[in-house]
Structure 1
């Protein structure tokens, strides 16, 4: 690992904790960052956080038509999920704790002891919706951990009512204050949840990492990111798989 990656990771973490993420990417004459270096930064940030914050899984992002159109980027990319940033359905989230808070409705899975999908359920993914470069890049997205800042999980998740080799049918929808603002097919990312897992397993192997039993995996979404405001009530529903909700406080 280069000194550049180490120093940038320390800066990234300091910026993140100060509520001003990714200032490096606002510098007009910044050094060029490769995609591999961006992943190394992401992993080095995890190493710096490891003494107090445990990685509990991964996200696969920038694969569905919604986010690809919004960002003007084609993934997939991965990010890390931290135990300290998991919330339960019904939580009240502080708007001021984030920078440009946006949410995303998507399907997540929990892995069984043999590495298969044990559970599938809807989640609300939380984002600092900030790009500081002149144009969004995969390097900025990855170095900022896929702009993930947390996940809202359902209180309970039923044992798998779906075989992973079967196509997913049904609708994934997002409601804000009781109004549906986005919806799409649950299987609307390339290959569905299984396709995301297969890509993630191959990608992690390239970085000496592996999927582990019990990990939480966000498999991507066909929908887009939705900015929210204080007072908003958010609900994400996956047909036949349940719902999850949260309220945005000032």
Structure 2
């Protein structure tokens, strides 16, 4: 039956607690979904959503993963940020935006999120089910962090996705709510609605910066973020 957004996040909290227990792990930050027009149109929503990132599902670039472990292997190249300090709920100055959230960013990481769901009835999928299923997060792989990230024009930064060294997709930072920092600001503004706030050291993936690509066993996936580095996954 239909559920509202607060109920969906309450279900997500219970799922996250169960996953922490079964994986013997802890959360290390957040993923943001529905930050591109393509994703919002697909799910008939006009706003992003968030899920949690787990330490056990965070892998270094170059990792080999078993393709059969995932119900789907949707590959999402994303700009990720590490927080340098706690982000207090926004005050009388108004909500955070791309400029006011900048001082809270320690570094930017090139990353790939792997989308994977735990749902029956995928044909009846909607944004509230996405939220309830921890924003269909299956894992993420990150490259080397860049601390002097402010010298980069993230809005126009190009990302190229390769499968077995063949170019398959190209994306840009402006595909993510017009700027990846807009996604981070959205999260900082919306977490307090659910009694949360961003904390120092947490990592945040900001959403796919191109169309999505589905990988299969036998593919080596490489997201080339140019001067920000690259991320590689081998699926077997």
Instruction: Say whether the fold is shared (TM-score over 0.5).
Output: yes
**1:172/1:238 contact within 8 Å kept:** yes
Q: Map Cα deviations across residues 161-208 of structure 1 (whole Å, 9 max, x no partner).
A: 3169x6632201211111111112123222412211111012110000
1:44 maps to 2:14: yes
1:127 maps to 2:97: no
Q: Find the counterpart in structure 2 of residue 64 from structure 1.
A: 36
Q: Find the counterpart in structure 2 of residue 153 from structure 1.
A: 142
Q: Find the counterpart in structure 2 of residue 197 from structure 1.
A: 184
Q: Structure 2: how far apart are the matches of 1:207 and 1:169?
A: 32
Q: Find the counterpart in structure 2 of residue 103 from structure 1.
A: 75
Report the secondary structure of 1:212's partner residue.
coil
CA RMSD of aligned residues (A): 2.1
TM-score, length of structure 2 as denominator length? 0.84
1:117 maps to 2:105: yes
1:144 maps to 2:133: yes
Cα distance change, pair 178–70 in 1 and its aligned pair in 2 (3 A)? farther
Q: Structure 2: how far apart are the matches of 1:72 and 1:225?
A: 17
Q: Structure 1: how far apart are the matches of 2:192 and 2:86?
A: 17
Q: Which moved more, 1:64-73 or 1:48-57?
A: 64-73
Structure 2 segments unaligned to the other structure (5+ residues)? 88-103
TM-score, length of structure 1 as denominator length? 0.79
- TM-fit CA distance, 1:129: 5.5
Cα distance change, pair 172–65 in 1 and its aligned pair in 2 (3 A)? farther
Q: Which moved more, 1:43-52 or 1:233-242?
A: 43-52
Q: Map Cα deviations across residues 188-245 of structure 1 (whole Å, 9 max, x no partner).
A: 2224122111110121100000100011100112313211111000011223211110
1:206 maps to 2:176: no
**2:35/2:206 contact within 8 Å kept:** no
Aligned length, in residue pairs: 217
1:186 maps to 2:173: yes
**1:108/1:120 contact within 8 Å kept:** yes
Cα distance change, pair 174–247 in 1 and its aligned pair in 2 (3 A)? same
1:85 maps to 2:57: yes
Q: Structure 2: how far apart are the matches of 1:175 and 1:89?
A: 14
Cα distance change, pair 74–179 in 1 and its aligned pair in 2 (3 A)? farther
